[in-house]
Amino acid sequence: MDEIVRQAMAKWPNVPHCYGWLALDRRGQWRMRDEQAQAEGSAGDPIRHAALIAFIARNYASDDEGRWYFQNGPQRVYVSLAYAPFVVRLTWDASANDGRGAPVLIDQLGKAFVPQICLLDEDGNVAFAGNAQGEENTSLALLHDHDIDLLTQVSNLPQAYEIAQTSDDTAEAKGAVRLHWRNGDALPFMTVHAGTLPQTYGFERDPRASRAD
What are the sequence ranges of the domains in the chain? 3-81, 86-201
- Tens digits of pLDDT across the chain (213 residues): 778 778 877 877 777 888 989 999 999 999 998 888 888 888 889 999 999 999 999 999 999 999 999 999 889 999 999 999 999 999 999 998 888 999 999 999 999 999 999 999 999 999 999 999 988 889 999 999 999 999 999 999 999 999 998 876 776 767 789 999 999 999 999 999 999 999 999 999 999 887 666
Segment 96-127, tens digit of pLDDT: 888 899 999 999 999 999 999 999 999 999 99
Which CATH code, of 3.30.1760, 1.10.287, 3.10.540, 1.25.40, is assigned to 3-81? 3.10.540
Amino acid at 8: A
Dihedral sign for Cα 55, 56, 58, 64, please.
positive
β-bridge partners, 61: 69
pLDDT tens digits for 68-103? 999 998 899 999 999 999 999 999 999 988 889 999
How far apart CA 213 and CA 202 sit, in angstroms, is: 19
d(CA 138, CA 201) in angstroms, rounded, equals: 7
Query: What's the length of the chain?
Result: 213
What is the rounded radius of gyration, in angstroms, for the C-alpha atoms of the chain?
19
Q: Is 152 helix (H, G, I), strand (E, B) or coil?
A: helix
